[in-house]
Amino acid sequence: MQNAAELKSQDGRSQRSSGKMMAVKEEETRFQLQKDRMLRAAARCFNEKGYSGSSLKDVAAILGLTDAALYYYVRNKEELVYLCYLRAAELGREAMQRALDERHDGMNTILSYLRYHIDMMVGERGPIAIMSEIPSLQPAHRAEILDLSRQHSARFEELLKAGISDGSVAPCDVRMTGNAIMGSINWIPKWHHGDADTGETIAAEFPEILTRGLRPPKDQS
Amino acid sequence: MQNAAELKSQDGRSQRSSGKMMAVKEEETRFQLQKDRMLRAAARCFNEKGYSGSSLKDVAAILGLTDAALYYYVRNKEELVYLCYLRAAELGREAMQRALDERHDGMNTILSYLRYHIDMMVGERGPIAIMSEIPSLQPAHRAEILDLSRQHSARFEELLKAGISDGSVAPCDVRMTGNAIMGSINWIPKWHHGDADTGETIAAEFPEILTRGLRPPKDQS
DNA sequence: GCATTATTTTAATCTAGATTAAAATTTTTT
DNA sequence: AAAAAATTTTAATCTAGATTAAAATAATGC
Domain that holds residue B183: 78-212
Instruction: Write out pLDDT tens, residues A88-136.
Output: 999 999 999 999 999 999 999 999 999 999 999 999 887 999 999 999 9
pLDDT at residue A48 greater than cutoff 80: yes
CB contact under 8 A, A135 and B191: no
The Cα of A182 is separated from the nearest Cα of chain B by a number of Å equal to 7
Q: How confident is the model at residue A16 (pLDDT cuts 50, 70, 90)?
A: very low
User: What is the number of structural domains in chain A?
Assistant: 1
Q: Residue B77: which nucleotide is closest by CA–C1'?
A: C18
The Cα of A46 is separated from the nearest Cα of chain B by a number of Å equal to 9
Average pLDDT, chain A: 87
Instruction: Determine if residue B192 is left, alpha or beta; phi over 0 gives left, psi from -120 to 50 gives alpha, anything else beta.
Output: beta
Cα–Cα distance list, B133 to A49, A66, B115, B126 (Å)? 7, 24, 26, 19
Kindly report the CATH number assigned to the domain that includes residue B85: 1.10.357.10
Cβ proximity of B199 and B122 under 8 Å: yes
Taking residues A64-92, report their average pLDDT. Answer: 96
> In terms of CA atoms, which chain B residue is nearest residue A146?
B191
In a domain, A21, yes or no: no
In a domain, A95, yes or no: yes
In a domain, B207, yes or no: yes
In a domain, B202, yes or no: yes
Residue B217's pLDDT is 82
Burial class (CB in 10 A: 0-12, 13-18, 19+), B121: buried
Residue A151's pLDDT is 98
- Residues of B within 8 A of A197 (CB-CB) are none
> Which of A:156-175 have CB within 8 Å of B?
172-173
Residue A109's pLDDT is 98
Cα–Cα distance list, A166 to A109, A220, B194 (Å)? 12, 15, 35
Residue A167's pLDDT is 96
In a domain, B140, yes or no: yes
Nearest CA among B136, B126, B121, B146 for reference residue B52? B136
Instruction: Write out pLDDT tens, residues A177-190.
Output: 999 999 999 999 99
Residue B102's pLDDT is 97
- DSSP category for residue B8: P
In a domain, B88, yes or no: yes
Higher pLDDT, A72 or A14: A72
pLDDT at residue A47 greater than cutoff 70: yes
Q: What is the rounded CA–CA span in Å between residue B59 and residue B86?
A: 18
- Residues of A within 8 A of B177 (CB-CB) are 209
Say yes or no: Cβ of A71 under 7 A from any atom of strand D: yes
In a domain, B64, yes or no: no
pLDDT in tens, chain B (221 residues): 333 333 344 444 433 333 333 334 444 678 999 999 999 999 999 999 999 999 999 999 999 999 999 999 999 999 999 999 999 999 999 999 999 999 999 999 999 999 999 999 999 898 999 999 999 999 999 999 999 999 999 999 999 999 999 999 999 999 999 999 999 999 999 999 988 899 999 999 999 999 999 999 864 44
Question: What is the full DSSP assignment across chain A?
Answer: -----SPPHHHHHHHHSTTSSS-HHHHTHHHHHHHHHHHHHHHHHHHHH-STT--HHHHHHHTT--GGGGGGT-SSHHHHHHHHHHHHHHHHHHHHHHHHHT---HHHHHHHHHHHHHHHHHSTT--------GGGS-HHHHHHHHHHHHHHHHHHHHHHHHHHHTTSS----HHHHHHHHHHHHHHHHHH--S-HHHHHHHHHHHHHHHHHTTS-SS---
CB contact under 8 A, B179 and A187: yes
Q: What is the rounded CA–CA span in Å between residue A90 and residue A101?
A: 16
Q: What is the rounded CA–CA span in Å between residue B128 and residue B131?
A: 9
In a domain, B113, yes or no: yes
Q: What is the rounded CA–CA span in Å between residue B151 and residue B131?
A: 15
B179 in contact with chain A, both atoms CB, cutoff 8 A:
yes
Instruction: Write out pLDDT tens, residues A139-175.
Output: 999 999 999 999 999 999 999 999 999 999 999 999 9
- DSSP category for residue B202: H
